[in-house]
Amino acid sequence: MSFATPVTLRGKHASLVPLALEHATALADAARDGELWKLWYTFVPHADKMTQEIERRLGLQQAGSMLPFTVLDAEGVPAGMTTFMNIDALNRRVEIGSTWYARRVQRSALNTECKRMLLRTHRLNTQSRRAIERLGAQLDGILRAHSRASDGTLRDTAVYSITAAEWPTIRSHLDWQLVKPRC
């Protein structure tokens, strides 16, 4: 199976289904939960531009460089988006990112389940950095002035990784995190 082959992944708290245009209205509603497009340190499409963002991601999928998902909560309601991106089949490497969640599911078990391998974020997005570090990922470094944000400012990107050798232990830890009682 190629990294860019659409697949559905199901967990107890969330499901990742292939992104589709018919998700646009529900994803716009999810983006409105917290007016997420107003966050300056990340890119979340404005609710009114959700169809264009879905079309953009599907175009990248057609080109073989992205595999976009709609994130569904435990009830099957769209709660956000995530992707395999910058697919490098030769080196068997992908980045996991371009992720956003409705405010109602942030810092929840859904987030933990979906972020099992979300390893790259804006240097100043402390909420995502804490979530990634809770996974057990290690900070590899900061890519300074790595890219431009939608407002034109330069973005510093915090890069995290989990090596193949570390993954079995981290996977066990994440599985435990998902079943332990919440206080």
pLDDT per residue as tens digits for the range 47-56? 999 999 999 9
Q: Which residues of 8-21 are buried (b: 16+ CB within 10 A; e: fewer)?
A: eeebeebbbbebee
Q: What is the dihedral of CA 70, 76, 77, 80, to 10 degrees?
A: -30
Q: Look up residue 97 and give its DSSP letter.
A: E
How far apart CA 183 and CA 171 sit, in angstroms, is: 22
Closest by Cα among 6, 2, 15, 3 to 113: 15
Q: Look up residue 103 and give its DSSP letter.
A: G
Share of the chain above pLDDT 70, in %: 91
CA angle 97, 170, 71 (to 5 degrees): 35
**Run of H or E residues at 113:** helix 109-114
How far apart CA 96 and CA 84 sit, in angstroms, is: 5
Is 50 exceeded by the pLDDT of residue 117? no
How far apart CA 41 and CA 118 sit, in angstroms, is: 16
Q: What is the per-residue pLDDT across 14-55, written as a single tens digit (0 to 9) for each?
A: 888 999 999 999 999 999 998 878 877 778 889 999 999 999
Mean pLDDT, rounded, of the chain: 83
Q: What single letter denotes the amino acid at residue 43?
A: F
**CA distances from residue 36 to 3, 13, 89, 128 in whole angstroms, order as listed:** 28, 22, 32, 14
Q: What single letter denotes the amino acid at residue 179?
A: V
